[in-house]
Every structure is written in structure tokens, then in C-alpha cells.
Structure 1
Amino acid sequence: MNKRIEVIEAAEREGKLLLYAEKYDGHADRLEAKGQILADSDQLAFIYILEDPEHFTYVSISPDYWQHLEHARQNSVSVWAVINEEELELLSFHEELTELVQNISGNANYGDEMEGRVSGIFAG
């Protein structure tokens, strides 16, 4: 069964953007970054996919943290998830985010609210 965890805090430290996730009920040390980001227009979130041998875990990033993502993207700051005190680099984050932002901008298929929020924060 797939799991979803929400980002609850973001901070830039030591040249990294750290996205702190809520408590995870699995083995965080077994998670691996998939290098893929999806849009969840129903929940207004970006979803970074992690996996372990048994399931996928979706790291949900709400608009509350998108300014942090854009700052990291514009400044080439690596993005990491902190899950149960384990740090995991989110591979290909900037490339995936840039592609997704370009797809969403001006595209009504993602819904007006998602498109508007993305266009308002990300430079494209």
C-alpha cells in the first residue's frame, strides 16, 4: 500500500533546502528517491515519489513551501527530505520541478487554482 507524508517545515541549512516531513510509520532508511515529481491538483501539492521494496511513499509539498522550492531552484540549492531524522536527497528535483512548472503554466487541465498558484510563484 502506498503512503503519503506531508511536509510540515522547510529550512535552508548548510547549502541545502531541508523539507521536514511528518512522522513516517515505516523504515525511512530504506526509502530511495525516484527522481520524479507529480502534481496533485486536487490537494494543491507537488508530490515527490520515494520507494522502498514494498511500496511507494509520496512526499506532499503544499503551496506553503513553494517559495522555498523556487528559491532553491533559482539558486541551485539541493533539496532534501528529512523523514524520521533521516536525510534523503531528492534526486533530479530541480529538473523535474522545472518541467512540471512549464507543463502547468497556462494549462487549464490542472485546474485554475493550481495553474494560478504555480504561475504566481514560479518563474517558469
Structure 2
Amino acid sequence: MILNGQRYQTRASSITLNLDQPVNQLEVRTDLDCQGVYTQSITLTEEPIALPNPIDSGDLRVFVPAEDGAKVRIRMFSMTGSSLLNKEVVIDKGEVKINMDGYARGVYLLNVTHQEQLYSYKIIKR
């Protein structure tokens, strides 16, 4: 089985694994391809979560409790109210990634709209 990209192998009839992400991706298969593959997205939150926060560089990961392929509107504002990002994105593996490398150090307002519900987060770029 694979949980969040890490492979586990067992012959036991049960196994306990730590779910360490807001949205966890599980894939279970046997040695026999003809038995198929079971996949499941396990969500531990009812609202989107933006991590890491504060962020130094790289991708801000917005975990969204929704089916893969669903769409969310992402908007980013400076603290003076200037719109810096406004786009509709598709959820992939329970998350949306926003690359923060092009943003200066400071505080930003992130709005995530999903199913007509608005979620707002203060993001700190160090």
C-alpha cells in the first residue's frame, strides 16, 4: 500500500498507519494485478487549510476537502488591497498549490472559494 507517497508492505490482516496530512491519499493493491487497485482520499478537515504558514519559499499547499477534479477560486491580495492572483484551479489529490517564490516578504490575504463558501487566510511570506 502507498500512503501519501510512502510505500508500506504487510502480510497482516490489518495495519495502523498515521494520517499526518489534512488530506491523505491511500492506494492499496496486492501482488496480483487482476485484483485491482483500491484508492481513497481521506480528509481530516471540513474546511480548506493553507500550509505551511508562515512560508519562506516554494509551494503554499491549500488542502481542500473535495473530490479531485472539483474547482475552487483562489484569490490573493496584498495588505493594501491590490489583487495579486485571481484564478479558478482544479483540485488534484485533495490540494491546490500556489508557488510563493514570486511574492515579496510580507503579509497576504488568501481567499479560497469552494461551493460558494468563502474561506480567508492571512499568509505570511518570510
- TM-score over 0.5 for the pair: no
Q: Which has the higher Rg, Structure 1 or Structure 2? A: 2
Structure scoring higher RCO (CA < 8 A, sep ≥ 6) equals 1
TM value normalised by structure 1: 0.27
Q: Which has the higher strand share?
A: 2
TM-score under structure 2 length normalisation: 0.27
